[in-house]
Amino acid sequence: MALIEISNLDKSYTTGKLETKVLIDLEMTANPGEMIMIMGPSGCGKTTLLNLLGGIDKPTDGTITVAGNNLHELSSKELNKFRRTEVGFIFQFYNLIPTLTALENVILGIEAVIQDKKELRERAEKYLKLVGLSDKLDNIPQELSAGEQQRVAIARALAKEPKLILADEPTGNLDEERGENIMELMQKLQKELKMTFLIVSHNSDLKKFVNRTLILRRGKLTPT
């Protein structure tokens, strides 16, 4: 069974009297364990698409199924649970809690999937170490560089070990070597844990890490 199935997806935003059609009759499927890159110009709707897949925003029309969950059929409580347990988000602007340390930010992100306190801490530390931040566990975001904050956000999403990772420019603020390390880490998780990745990026050098690349243009996804 496909992990993601999108059919006839429309998404419009209305501001005042102006309606902007962002996604138009968009179709997409992804299999479990696939790593897919989404490219496209600024404003074409990449973040919008990720938000819809993660249940953060609602379609204007059409259906989205993720891991057997038909998102429009879920109650807001079920949708909340879906977001907290099934999906890992790496946001374009990180969304870290400014008053919490790196370790606490990651722990907060995975509390819905791990109950045991000791296990929770170990899992958070493991992933912060994997992204190269074992010496910054107790720093709050403003004590971290942009790239370090991005890596905390990556650790927070991956540590959940969810079925689906939605990553919005995950390596945008990292140098080339660090970016490639992160892509390799994601590849490893894709293989070992059969996690599915949807990665938005403007960097075509990252194509070599993914199974396929799709372009979002005029509201639709097309293969490259």
Ligand X SMILES: Nc1ncnc2c1ncn2[C@@H]1O[C@H](COP(=O)(O)OP(=O)(O)OP(=O)(O)O)[C@@H](O)[C@H]1O
What part of residues 14-43 is at the interface with ligand X (CB under 6 A)? Answer: 15, 20, 22, 40, 42-43
> Which of 15/115 has CB closer to ligand X?
15
Q: How far is the CB of 199 from ligand X (least distance, A)?
A: 13
> Which of 13/134 has CB closer to ligand X?
13
Q: Report d(CA 92, CA 113) in Å as an integer.
A: 23
Q: Which residue is nearest to Mg ion (CB)?
A: 47
> Which of 40/141 has CB closer to ligand X?
40
Q: How far is the CB of 20 from ligand X (least distance, A)?
A: 6
> Which of 92/211 has CB closer to ligand X?
92
Q: Which does 222 bind (CB under 5 to 8 A by kind): ligand X, Mg ion, none?
A: none
Those residues whose C-beta lies under 8 Å from the C-beta of residue 80, and which sit 6 or more positions away, are none
| 20-53: b (≥16 Cβ within 10 Å) or e | eebbbebebebeeebbbbbbbeeebbbbbbbbbb
Q: Which does 44 bind (CB under 5 to 8 A by kind): ligand X, Mg ion, none?
A: ligand X
What Å distances lie between residue 62 and 52, 98, 192, CA to CA? 11, 36, 33
Out of 9, 47, 131, 209, which residue is the one contacting Mg ion (CB under 5 A)? Answer: 47
Q: Which does 171 bind (CB under 5 to 8 A by kind): ligand X, Mg ion, none?
A: none
- Scanning the chain, the segments in alpha helix (DSSP H) are 46-53, 76-85, 102-110, 117-130, 146-159, 176-193
With 0-12 / 13-18 / 19 or more C-beta atoms within 10 angstroms meaning exposed / middle / buried, residue 84 is: middle
Sheet of strand 18-30, all strands in order from the earlier edge strand to the far edge:
18-30, 4-15, 61-66, 69-70
- x-or-dash pattern for ligand X, window 91-110, by CB under 6 A? -x------------------
What part of residues 121-140 is at the interface with ligand X (CB under 6 A)? Answer: none
Question: Tell me, what DSSP letter sits at residue 204?
Answer: G
> Which of 50/130 has CB closer to Mg ion?
50
Q: How far is CA 61 from the centre of its chain?
A: 22
> Which of 54/130 has CB closer to ligand X?
54
Could you list the residues that contact ligand X (CB under 6 A)?
A: 13, 15, 20, 22, 40, 42-48, 92
